[in-house]
Structure 1
């Protein structure tokens, strides 16, 4: 452009910028358009869902789900052809779906179970984790299965799949369970250890990790009972955005195929005694989709 006058060079530069902007602003994906327009992606995270999504000791957002979603962010940047700022938004089980449907967050990276009911409101990626509802209790409590909780009080996260599983079992077997609603596992374990509830119901993997690493008296707790539900975790985002769903699944499939997801597994779960294999190995293998 050296033979152009300065006004012409400016005009050409502005034209190129506008054409670049149009590439993403005319995307069929409302999520990508929103991210591109503001130059920022809003990611919902949990504050104490260790080791999936939590604040670390330095008050930084960390965790397996968060880092896995970082691969999605890389794919977003590539598609948009620009840098985007990452803004982490703390969410709870009670407000996470509303945050997604309203556009307050572009995706949620925590421990949200994919259910048919939720798919009527939001969309999900392919699963990146499988667990199920279990119980945390004090050792020596005499509680080994959910049926041993007849007439007792259970702490649950409001709006969780664990709550629904326990309510359904209570009604089916006449257990007359009482529910104490807590905002997170930190509050739930505190209620359990101080005797305000008889058990805490949660996803087996997160509560086992929390009990071993964050509880006041790990030696006095145990995780008991059969799996009362099947809980596959996925990245949650707005419904009806097929282009963004493909982008998210592409990022996850590549992480599964490359071994990056397993390396993240080892980073966050090996220190608490969980070895990669079994259902997780099968999950990653069958979802290593070809390009």
Structure 2
């Protein structure tokens, strides 16, 4: 029979520990089913840190590139982020903010936002709805589409309305331009360029006669021609005059942040944004406005077209 007065060595110490841990254990069990507190919003994070984290490309004239003796970032996106900085500061009651720029690329632009390295990425990003990542896009801040840069003396021979069989067409790998051309011109020979300087390498290949045309968004072809001092309109031409397809560019944002998305969209749709484009594009601005109007009319026509039943259904969403 056990002795009721007997106690094991250290039992008093264990009882004391148990008395301390019991309330903590009870609280843990009671609250283990409760939902996790929602993470702070983008604006709350900016308010706390005083820092706006943004990513910009350095290979996409006129949106983001490096220039000057200090090799500093410049372009439409730099000015746009500064406008966004002012809007965020005003929203937070005039709180001073710093901007920290990160370099983005064709390869990391989505993940920089998805992994919360930055809260906005500005660049030539076609708005897409097929990306399985926790990101979204702003309203379109620019409209452009696929065009070809070709030698001026080939203008009458290069027929974009045909199948371009045998034509050597350079394009950036992994872009919407590449996907579009592969579908539209399956008989053309697509030559993919990759890397941070891919667009420049493609245009240089055209100048050296190693390809017959280089395809990209029209505005980016304008920018690269400007950077390489290519005489557009004489030795080289953009073809056709209006894009073969129409793509809206959007800023990449974290998903499920409606307050942040609305704030960014206010800046996108403000008159100041148009002034930024006008300052950067100068004499090109009216031509690019015509492209924008062309694409809007095209979209409007597509929405109002009544199917006749003769259309061939596409296996892939445009």
Same fold (TM over 0.5): yes
Q: Please name the residue that 1:31 is paired with.
A: 42
Rg: which structure is higher? 2
Structure 2 Cα separation of the partners of residues 42 and 146 of structure 1? 44
* Pairing partner for 1:200 from 214, 221, 224: 214
- 1:86-128 Cα distance to aligned partner (Å, 9 max, x none): 1121211122111111112211111111122248652111111
**TM-score normalized by the length of structure 2:** 0.69
Structure 1 Cα separation of the partners of residues 47 and 161 of structure 2? 48
Moved more, 33-42 or 229-238: 33-42
Q: How many residues align?
A: 252
Unaligned runs of 5+ in 1: 1-25, 285-291
State the superposition RMSD in angstroms.
3.0
Tell me by how many angstroms 1:208 deviates: 2.3
Structure 1 Cα separation of the partners of residues 182 and 235 of structure 2? 27
Identify if the C-alpha distance between structure 1 residues 280 and 167 changes in structure 2 by more than 3 Å, giving closer, same or farther: closer
Asked if structure 2 preserves the Cα contact closer than 8 Å seen for 1:154 and 1:180, the reply is no
* 1:43 equivalent in alignment to 2:73: no
Equivalent position SS for 1:86: strand
Give the helix-richer structure, 1 or 2: 1
Asked if structure 1 preserves the Cα contact closer than 8 Å seen for 2:56 and 2:64, the reply is yes
Structure 1 Cα separation of the partners of residues 295 and 190 of structure 2? 34
Q: Please name the residue that 1:15 is paired with.
A: none
Unaligned runs of 5+ in 2: 1-36, 297-318
Tell me by how many angstroms 1:144 deviates: 4.0
Asked if structure 1 preserves the Cα contact closer than 8 Å seen for 2:53 and 2:119, the reply is yes
Tell me by how many angstroms 1:84 deviates: 2.1
**TM-score normalized by the length of structure 1:** 0.74
Identify if the C-alpha distance between structure 1 residues 43 and 35 changes in structure 2 by more than 3 Å, giving closer, same or farther: same
Moved more, 244-253 or 63-72: 63-72
Moved more, 237-246 or 224-233: 224-233
Tell me by how many angstroms 1:135 deviates: 0.9
Asked if structure 2 preserves the Cα contact closer than 8 Å seen for 1:93 and 1:158, the reply is no
Q: Please name the residue that 1:242 is paired with.
A: 258
